[in-house]
């Protein structure tokens, strides 16, 4: 359900009738009945409820309960974003970032991600942090750090991993292997296999944690099995450290 929550967010509607209908739609989503959810969101969306507009747009973007239609996704997500819904702003930003149904534009994506992030949307904060670091401008590192910290504070595992990388590589902060390892431990606990891979590498090298080849190999293999591409460069060295070559007689 985590990826669905990212698409639809958690509804915080105060109006009793609207909140009740949104709760019914959420229940439909949880049982996999997006057609029923769309029927409930439809009248609310036409009445101008931003989160309902976002949810319909997200369904068209992902093909949930309807045929995938980037143009209709763009239409509904634009309405949601213009109404000030942060999840709508973030999902619209994703369309601009990927160029789906609209011309690709990192600048417009960043503008929309900022609007959502400033309203406390953690996935948008995480994405801004990533974009700023990927841009490669050292002047952006302090802001990337700030948004990653904000997202990590709400439990976003990828931001925890990124904070570990930033402390390890001295990106916007002083190099601190101990802090890097602590962030990777938190990221791993939150479910990010890239944190598990980097903690495995740190454990192999004894950076921020005591060296332990057996534990390092276990972490690296587990991370690779969960889809992390960061583990592979260290696995051969970890295997060699666990089973060193016997000296010649």
Q: Which phi and psi (to 5°) does residue 68 adopt?
A: -60, 130
Locate tokens 């969960």: which residue? 226
pTM for the model stands at 0.89
d(CA 62, CA 49): 20
Q: What is the pLDDT of residue 6?
A: 60
Give the residue ranges of the chain where pLDDT is below 50: 1, 3
Q: Which contacts qualify for 178-181: CB closer than 8 Å, 24 or more apart?
A: 178/208, 179/208, 180/207, 180/208, 181/207, 181/208, 181/209
Q: For position 240, what pLDDT does the model report? A: 95
What's the pLDDT score for residue 16?
Answer: 80
Q: What is the pLDDT of residue 246?
A: 53
pLDDT for 3: 46
Rg (CA), the chain: 22
The domains found in the chain, sorted by start residue, are 1-119 (1.25.40.10)
Question: For the chain, give me the number of helices (H) and strands (E)?
Answer: 14, 0
């Amino acid at each position: 359900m985590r990826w669905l929550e990212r698409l639809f967010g958690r509804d915080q509607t105060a109006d009793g009738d609207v909140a009740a209908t949104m709760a019914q739609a959420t229940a439909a989503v949880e049982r996999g009945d997006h057609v029923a959810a769309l029927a409930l969101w439809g009248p609310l969306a036409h009445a101008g409820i931003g989160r309902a507009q976002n949810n319909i747009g997200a369904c068209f973007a992902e093909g949930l309960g309807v045929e995938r239609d980037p143009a209709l996704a763009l239409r509904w997500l634009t309405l949601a974003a213009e109404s000030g819904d942060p999840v709508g702003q973030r999902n619209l930003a994703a369309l601009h970032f990927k160029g789906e149904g609209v011309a690709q534009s990192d600048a417009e994506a960043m503008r929309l991600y900022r609007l959502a992030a400033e309203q406390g949307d953690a996935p948008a904060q995480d994405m801004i942090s990533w974009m700023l670091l990927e841009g490669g401008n050292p002047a952006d590192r302090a802001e990337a750090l700030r948004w990653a910290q904000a997202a990590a504070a709400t439990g976003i595992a990828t931001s925890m991993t990124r904070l570990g990388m930033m402390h390890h590589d001295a990106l916007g902060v002083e190099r601190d292997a101990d802090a890097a390892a602590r962030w990777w431990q938190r990221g791993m606990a939150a479910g990010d296999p890239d944190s598990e891979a980097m903690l495995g590498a740190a454990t192999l090298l004894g950076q921020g944690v005591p060296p332990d080849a057996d534990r390092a190999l276990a972490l690296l293999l587990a991370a690779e099995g969960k889809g992390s591409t960061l583990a592979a460069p260290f696995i051969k060295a970890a295997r060699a450290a666990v089973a060193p070559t016997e000296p010649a007689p």
